[in-house]
Amino acid sequence: MSVTLALGCAAPSTDVNPSNAARRSGFEDMGASTQAMQRDDSGNPAMLWVREGEQLWARSSPDARACSSCHGELKSMRGVAGRYPAYDAHSHRPVNLATRVNLCRERHQQQRPWAAESNELLSLEAAIAMQSRGLPITPSRDRRLVPYRERGAALFSQRIGQLNLSCAQCHDERAGLRLAGSVIPQGHATGYPIYRLEWQALGSLSRRLRGCMTGVRAEPLAHGSVEMVELELHLMSRAAGMAYEAPAVRP
Ligand code: HEC
Ligand code: HEC
């Protein structure tokens, strides 16, 4: 990937900072056929995971109550994905939606947590996220999240990796320019979990972020780590008010 070269040619930006210009979902930067795939549920491969998640939601076993036995219909999760990560008082830290689901699995179902990016976890995440589709992203206002969110914002602007680039240098300063053939999006986390054509699978926001970290040759943060959740908190507040579009499709 000729990252340095492409960036070296990039013109200094004027009005592409999402904080002071119109914010734009990555959906807008995609080709027409990829957009059509996301728009039509019958053509969106992510719906396979949603259907699986709907079944898991209602499934009980001799030693575990179903999610639905405590929470009722999936509809009860309306708006939930759009306000995560949230603070978990038991573990005294913020958690993302995947970790929240696993906490229920451990605390309320007495089962071992599912592995990060496992089909079960992604399926439930997708089915829950779908209940926030079309709703505005509304970050939690819990005061306990403030220091975490601030650290996430700092990390977003910090140069990382052998390429010595920050998230902001691409997603605020160079959004809309091309990098190795693809348009650099503003980097809004409006559609997670997403079906990514490159993965040929569903994946979480942290998987996407790990991809960007590897792209600048930085050691990627671990799934569910506090630092990863801090970054996710910042991304969601940066996208506050934008419509949730999960499960999205991305190139
Ligand atoms: C025995 C009851 C019980 C079961 C079974 C259960 N949960 Fe929960 N869940 C809770 C309670 C209680 C909370 C509130 C937080 C807490 O006390 O842990 C919660 C919170 C949540 C939240 C956060 C909601 C919010 O508004 O922030 C999600 C998401 C969730 N559960 C998903 C699931 C999923 C998915 C399953 C099945 C894999 C599940 N839960 C199984 C009782 C349960
Ligand atoms: C060298 C430039 C570059 C850097 C640095 C970079 N990214 Fe990205 N990022 C991209 C490109 C290009 C894409 C789109 C890839 C594609 O669609 O093929 C992307 C995609 C994303 C997306 C997905 C947006 C969507 O529509 O779903 C998010 C979120 C994101 N990046 C966040 C980050 C964060 C957080 C960092 C810092 C840890 C970061 N990126 C660092 C170039 C970069």
Q: Judge if the beta carbon of residue 108 lies within 6 A of ligand 1.
A: yes
Are 210 and 220 in contact, with CB atoms under 8 Å apart? yes
Domains of the chain are 3-40+138-250 (1.10.760.10), 46-132 (1.10.760.10)
CA-nearest residue, atom 20 of ligand 2: 187
What pLDDT band is residue 12 in, cutting at 50, 70 and 90?
very low
Q: Judge if the beta carbon of residue 157 lies within 6 A of ligand 2.
A: no
Q: Which residues pair with 201 in a beta bridge?
A: 196
Report which listed range, 4-13, 19-28, 110-119, is most confident.
110-119
Task: Give the number of the ligand closest to the Cα of residue 61.
Answer: 1
What pLDDT is attached to residue 21? 56
Residue 138 CA to ligand 1 center (angstroms) comes to 20
Q: What residues have CB less than 8 Å from 40, skipping those under 6 apart?
A: none
pTM: 0.93
pLDDT in tens, 120-133: 999 999 999 999 99
Taking 70 as the threshold, does the pLDDT of residue 213 lie above it? yes
Distance from C-alpha of 232 to C-alpha of 167, rounded to nearest angstrom: 12
Give the residue, out of 1, 4, 163, 212, with the most ligand 2 atoms within 8 A of its beta carbon, to mutate for a pocket test.
212
Ligand 2 atom with the smallest distance to the CA of 27 is 26
Phi, psi at 203, each rounded to 5°: -150, 160
Task: Give the number of the ligand closest to the Cα of residue 140.
Answer: 1
Task: Give the number of the ligand closest to the Cα of residue 110.
Answer: 1
Q: CA dihedral defined by 54, 59, 65, 70, rounded to 10 degrees?
A: 30
